[in-house]
Chains A and B, each alone.
Chain A
Amino acid sequence: MSSIYRHIGRYYILMVNVFTRPEKGKVYRKLIVEEIDKIGIQSLGIVALLSLFMGAVVTLQTAANIDSGWIPKWTIGYTTRQTMILEFSSTIVSLILSGKVGSNIASEIGTMRITEQIDAMDIMGVNSASYLILPKIVAAMFIFPFMVILAMACGISAGAAIGVSTGVISLTDYQYGLTYYFEPFQVSYTLIKSVVFAFIITSVSSYHGYYTKGGALEVGQSSTRAVVYSIVLIMISNYVITQLLLL
């Protein structure tokens, strides 16, 4: 139990250091742009690919499970929309990115720690926590909502394409389902979630990397812990945000 308090305390101290005033804004702006590319742009392919297949599968599974004449066909479009907007685009995409981005961040910072690169920064007088972590957090919180919108668009489009091409639903029914009882706030809700998840993934992964001790083996362990802790915290915060915003 004391270990959890130690982690919380160290995480808090690290975040205080991260959010202190940067030494040189111009340098940080350049770093943020680089991180947007590394975290966001380089993940677009995997997000789009997974969303396409998820949208298609949700459409087919819903169609396969609706064999009652009492349930209208447009339910397929409605279900695909709700699944993609409410959970897949933010939560599932974030879980996937915690594996890709989170492990990458933890291993990058962890390697810098064990090779004394972080010590070198500290001795120069650079706030290493802020220099290494702040651009990642800002970049992820900025780019994640765009990736979520991309995931929604890909999933819903793929659902339509597969549904129509396999003949399980007409385009008109699918479109009707998409617009049926649509609440724009649900999009805001999922975008809010994505920003929170972006913060969790980048800060938790950075924390595990920053406090790595030892060698290559420990870098690997930090990377694994970063992903596990990020996933657990994403699921807990998903519940809390849903409770607060949707009910």
Chain B
Amino acid sequence: MIQVNNISKSFDGNDVLKDITVNFHPGKVNFIIGRSGSGKSVLTKCIVGLMEVNKGEILFDERNFTSMDRWSRRSVRQEMGMLFQGSALFDSMTVEENIMFPLKMFSKLSPAEIKDRVDFCLQRVNLTGKNKLYPSEISGGMQKRTGIARAIAMNPKYLFCDEPNSGLDPQTAIVIDNLIREITYEFNITTVVVSHDMNSVIEIGDYINFIYQGQLWWSGNKNEILRTNNQELNDFVFPSEFMKEIRDTLRESR
């Protein structure tokens, strides 16, 4: 479990995160949603340690990440995987080399075992046979899947996905969503997804956390999101009349 306790973050006196406390559960897909500029990406960057918090603490399975020295942090980071919005694949490396990278840097596996692990990860994300292609030679959806394969190569305990569906068509987005959900359940990973995509939230979200103006405004599951009276959340999730109609239909059917 990842526990975020009372964290605050400001830039030049501007408070971006205000006293946020939230838990992310193992074996579940935990969503962070919110409008652009609400602070959700900053929250994710603080959790993974790319930004330092001004106040509060972050615990990974009761290990206080905030107070760790850089060496201890590195060992925790080796338990993390992250899928970036733009995939962030190393463009000088092939698909295979991208997935091999963390294994070569940190594992004690033999070259043959590394190759087997890469093939397993590629097969798991349905990219078998794409080993020797470069990121520029594959589609956006394939790049995302390669990003997932790289993220799971080290058997992570924590998986972070930053806007995993951005730039993808709806059908490919569903493929990526399902993959994230399957991997989370299969390997009992604590998955944190930052997204604007309400289809993903309703489809695969086990726990949903809504950030509004730098504060944790609402938390709950996908059934509760349909029934909440929280005005700001409703305005965000169901902004149009069409979406409100869908919500009402779903409310009746569940």
Give Cα A122 to B106, complex, Å.
Answer: 13
15 further A-B contacts with Cβ under 8 Å, apart from A119-B88, A123-B49, are: A24-B104, A116-B84, A116-B86, A117-B88, A119-B50, A119-B84, A120-B84, A120-B90, A123-B80, A123-B82, A124-B101, A124-B105, A124-B106, A125-B77, A125-B105
Residues of chain B within 8 A (CB-CB) of A126 are: 102, 105
Which A residues contact B (CB, under 8 angstroms)? 23-24, 27, 112, 115-117, 119-120, 122-127
Residue among A24, A119, A122, A123 facing the most chain B CB atoms (10 A cut-off): A123
Checking B74, B88, B105 against A120 with a beta-carbon cut-off of 8 angstroms, the contacting residue is: B88
Give Cα A117 to B84, complex, Å.
Answer: 9
B75 within 8 A of A: yes
Chain B nearest CB from A21 CB (Å) reads 10
* Cβ–Cβ contact B88 & A124, under 8 A: no
* Cβ–Cβ contact A120 & B106, under 8 A: no
* Cβ–Cβ contact B84 & A125, under 8 A: no
Minimal Cβ-Cβ distance residue in A for B93: A117
Residues of chain A within 8 A (CB-CB) of B86 are: 115-116
* Cβ–Cβ contact B104 & A125, under 8 A: no
Residues of chain A within 8 A (CB-CB) of B104 are: 24, 27
Residues of chain B within 8 A (CB-CB) of A119 are: 50, 82, 84, 88
B48 within 8 A of A: yes
Known: A119-B84, A125-B74, A125-B78. Contact between A23 and B106, CB under 8 A?
Answer: yes
* Cβ–Cβ contact B77 & A123, under 8 A: yes
Residues of chain B within 8 A (CB-CB) of A24 are: 104-106
Residues of chain A within 8 A (CB-CB) of B85 are: 116
* Cβ–Cβ contact A124 & B77, under 8 A: yes
Chain B nearest CB from A120 CB (Å) reads 4
Chain B nearest CB from A142 CB (Å) reads 21
* Cβ–Cβ contact B90 & A117, under 8 A: yes
Residues of chain A within 8 A (CB-CB) of B50 are: 119, 122-123
Give Cα A24 to B89, complex, Å.
Answer: 21
Residues of chain B within 8 A (CB-CB) of A123 are: 48-50, 77, 80, 82, 160
Chain B nearest CB from A213 CB (Å) reads 13
* Cβ–Cβ contact B106 & A116, under 8 A: no
Minimal Cβ-Cβ distance residue in B for A112: B90
Minimal Cβ-Cβ distance residue in B for A123: B82
Give Cα A123 to B161, complex, Å.
Answer: 12
Instruction: List which B192-246 residues lie within 8 A (CB) of chain A.
Output: none
* Cβ–Cβ contact A23 & B105, under 8 A: yes
Binary interface encoding of chain B residues 40-77 relative to chain A, with 1 for a CB under 8 A from any of its CBs, else 0? 00000000111000000000000000000000011111
* Cβ–Cβ contact A124 & B102, under 8 A: yes
Task: Please list 29 pairs of residues, one from A and one from B, whose beta carbons are closer than 8 Å in the complex, sorted by A's number.
Answer: A23-B105, A23-B106, A24-B104, A24-B105, A24-B106, A112-B90, A115-B86, A116-B84, A116-B88, A117-B88, A117-B90, A117-B91, A119-B82, A119-B84, A120-B88, A120-B90, A122-B77, A123-B48, A123-B49, A123-B50, A124-B77, A124-B80, A124-B154, A125-B73, A125-B74, A125-B75, A125-B76, A125-B106, A127-B74
